[in-house]
Amino acid sequence: MREVDKRTTVRRRVLLRGGAAAPAAIAVAATGGTAVADTRNLQPATMTTIVKAARDIFPHDSFPDRFYVAAVAPYDDQAGANAQLKQLLEEGVAALNAEARRRHGRDYVAVATEDQRVEVLKAQQDGAFFRKLRGDLVVALYNQPDVWAKLGYEGPSWEHGGYLERGFNDIDWLPEA
C-alpha cells in the first residue's frame, strides 16, 4: 500500500512574495484534505473541489497538493474576467457534487476513496467542465519546473543547442542493432 504525504511545503516567504502561480494567495491545509482560501472570484469550495479533481485526473502519489493548487490557481483570476468560464466552473463542480451525492451520499471532496471519485469523474467525462479541466491541466501541471524535477526531466535543451550533443544518444543498456 502506498503512503501519500499530505503535508504541504508552502513556505511563508513564498506565499508573501505572491508566488508566480498563485496571486490569489491560495493556501493548502494539511489536515487530511485540501482547503483553498482567499479566492476572489470563485467559491473556496469550488477551488477545493477542482484541486481534488485535478489530483484524481492526473494522479501522482509523490506530488504534494501545492503542484495541483498552482495548476488550477489561474482559474480564479480568469473567472473574474470571463463570466462564461466562471459559470462553467461553478456549474461543473455542482454537477460533480450532485453525481457524488447520487453515487456515494456526499460531496465529491468527501468521497472516501480515489476509485470512488474516479467513478464520479468517469460519469462526467463527456461534459465541457471535465474536458476543460483535463485539457488545461495537462499543460498547467506538467509545465512547472518543480514537477519536472519530480519526474526526472531536466528541462528544455534548446538554449543549450538541443539534445543531439547533450547525452541524447547515451543509452548503454540497449543492445546494438
Query: Is 39 part of any domain?
Result: yes
Residue 67: count other Cβ atoms within 10 Å of its Cβ: 22
Q: What does the pLDDT read at residue 16?
A: 45
Query: Is 159 part of any domain?
Result: no
Query: Is 48 part of any domain?
Result: yes
Could you list the residue range(s) of the whole structural domain that residue 79 is in?
12-153
- Can you give the pTM of this predicted structure? 0.73
Question: Which residues have CB under 8 Å from 76's CB, separation 6+?
Answer: 24, 26, 39, 40, 41, 42, 47
HEC secondary structure over 134-153: HHHHHHHCCCCHHHHHHHCC
Which residue stretches of the chain have pLDDT < 70? 1-37, 166-169, 177
Number of domains in the chain: 1
Give tens-digit pLDDT for 87-139: 999 999 999 999 999 999 999 999 999 999 999 999 999 999 999 999 999 99
**Cα(143)–Cα(71) distance, rounded to whole angstroms?**
9
Burial of 126 (0-12, 13-18, 19+ CB in 10 A): exposed
Query: Is 120 part of any domain?
Result: yes
Query: Is 5 part of any domain?
Result: no
Query: Is 160 part of any domain?
Result: no
Q: What does the pLDDT read at residue 156?
A: 85
Q: What does the pLDDT read at residue 114?
A: 95
Query: Is 170 part of any domain?
Result: no
